[in-house]
Structure 1
């Protein structure tokens, strides 16, 4: 009788481990990097927040962010447009998500998420 209980517990444990592994494979997020830049808020359109900034070469460029932490929007209402033209220090993560399509093929999407935001004054 003890052997049956042990076997049942082992089967349940194996099923749990197998399910956990499969769930992680279906949609896996990998943080690629965290960066901080200074940029001028350019607006919110089509679900993206855009900022003008100078890239590594010193050229003017625009960066788009797909998401922002909700607590940051409580402090800085970027959706209203009132902060357009204001300068910010922006810390963000680039996340790569793997999604398995209906056909079983992997698809990778990169998402930029603002994790810290601080309005700054240019001197």
Structure 2
């Protein structure tokens, strides 16, 4: 009887839906330089990024920031707007399934490290 309880306990630790299952190959790590442009509840944390090859500007939005980074930098205040950072972030390929098991893929950008320049 103990075996059944252990197996059930192990199953309860598994993710509840398929979109929670992460494959390490689905996570890429990138490093860029950007100028902090602010925080918005809808869009997240935005940075102005200049592509050195094409010399074009674009805005990158990050939906999440690790708690350790937020403890070091208060990105919800306006004090850091206009400051330059080296941004290390992860791109996570995710898929959400609806009730009919139809999958929609999307990418989640998470800042894992910031270095003020």
State the 4+ residue runs in structure 1 displaced beyond 6 angstroms.
11-22
Partner Cα separation in structure 1 for residue 18 and residue 64 of structure 2: 23
TM-score, normalization: structure 1? 0.74
TM-score of the aligned structures, taking structure 2 as reference length? 0.78
Post-superposition Cα deviations, 1:2-57, rounded to whole Å, max 9, x if no partner, equal xxx8xx95x88887888888857353334331110010000111241110111242
Q: Tell me the equivalent position of 1:52.
A: 48
Whose helix fraction is larger, Structure 1's or Structure 2's? 1
> Structure 2 unaligned runs (5+)?
none
Contact 1:28 1:99 in 2 (8 A): no
Q: Hey, what's the Cα distance between the residues in 2 that align with 1:26 and 1:39?
A: 30
Is 1:65 matched up with 2:62? yes
Unmatched 5+ residue regions in structure 1?
none
Aligned CA-pair RMSD: 2.6
